[in-house]
Amino acid sequence: MWNQACTQSTDGISRHKAGISKATLQILPCTVSQLLSAYRVSNDTFAMCDWEINQVSIVGVIRGFSPFKTNIWYTVDDMTASPLNVKQWVNKEDCNQTYACPGTYVKVTGSLRNISGQRSLLAINIRCIKDLNEITSHMLEVVHSHMQLFGKVFDVNMNTTVHSLSGSFPAGRPQDTSPDSLSTIQTQVLHIIRKFSVRDEGISFHDLKVQLDYLSMRDIRSSLDFLVNEGHVFFTIDEHHFKSAEPQKAT
């Protein structure tokens, strides 16, 4: 019934910029770090650089495996962030449906979802990797595809490595930009603080955690420490309230 193999995959997604345009593209190659730091637009809608993402692919090693009656939960680790939870539905009518074992390198295709309050990948396909060169190939595809789509060169953690290739941002990109030296997570923390800097007291650490509930407390605290030390953020009424040194610009 079950055997230790993986099925083949088919690629293709539709992805659009909300309210502006719609296009059919290949599945967007990503890293776990990029998916965990993507902006949450709504409960099950996420975006990178203001572009909504639909179907994505990641490559990593399976660290955990939990089979249930109707689904299987994996944890997939690509070493760019903490392992990502992956959910795959069980097709009871398919006696040849396969699964992957812990320690196996796989390519997962699916959609990013908020499942039980946790950011997870709902898998459409999980395919075992037999040639380890595919791992390197995937990372190159990640950098190349994000460079083409967003007009900037990113590393695998979505950190900007150089200025915009065209010298300007693609249509619809936020005008409230951050220094290129900031990581994706630091940029998101600074973006939220800027939004609330119109208040006299700024934003509290508690409210910041609520706004960035998909990030770990450690990531938020380390980002705050960096932003304060670099002069991007300062304390207000106490050490638990923050404002941006450069408030968000009006649009």
Write the pLDDT tens digit of every residue in 100-142. 899 999 999 999 998 888 899 999 999 999 998 999 999 988 8
**Residue 85 has what pLDDT?**
95
**Residue 37 has what pLDDT?**
84
**Residue 26 has what pLDDT?**
62
**Residue 125 has what pLDDT?**
92
Q: What is the pLDDT of residues 191-207, one digit of tens each?
A: 899 988 888 889 999 99
Angle at alpha carbon of residue 42, lines to 142 and 159, rounded to 5°:
30
**Residue 87 has what pLDDT?**
95
Q: Work out whether strand 71-77 and strand 55-67 pair parallel, antiparallel, or are unpaired.
A: antiparallel
244: number of Cβ within 10 Å: 21
Three-state DSSP class for residue 241: strand
Handedness of CA 180, 181, 184, 187 (dihedral sign): negative
Going by the DSSP 8-state scheme, the letter that residue 4 receives in this structure is B
CB 73 within 8 A of CB 87: yes
Q: How far apart are CA 188 and CA 181, in angstroms?
A: 13
**Residue 13 has what pLDDT?**
35
**Nearest to 105, CA basis, from 132, 79, 84, 133:** 132
> Which residue stretches of the chain have pLDDT < 70?
1-26, 50, 95-97, 150-180, 247-251
Q: How far apart are CA 215 and CA 228, in angstroms?
A: 19
**Residue 158 has what pLDDT?**
52
Token pair 């965990």 in the structure block, residue? 36
Which pTM value belongs to this model? 0.58
Buried b / exposed e along 40-74 (16+ C-beta atoms within 10 A): beeeebbbbbbbbbbbbbbbbbbeeeeeeeeebeb
* Range 87-93 contact pairs with CB under 8 angstroms and sequence separation of 24 or more: 87/113, 87/115, 87/120, 87/121, 87/122, 87/123, 88/123, 88/126
**Residue 9 has what pLDDT?**
35
Going by the DSSP 8-state scheme, the letter that residue 167 receives in this structure is S
CB 47 within 8 A of CB 34: no
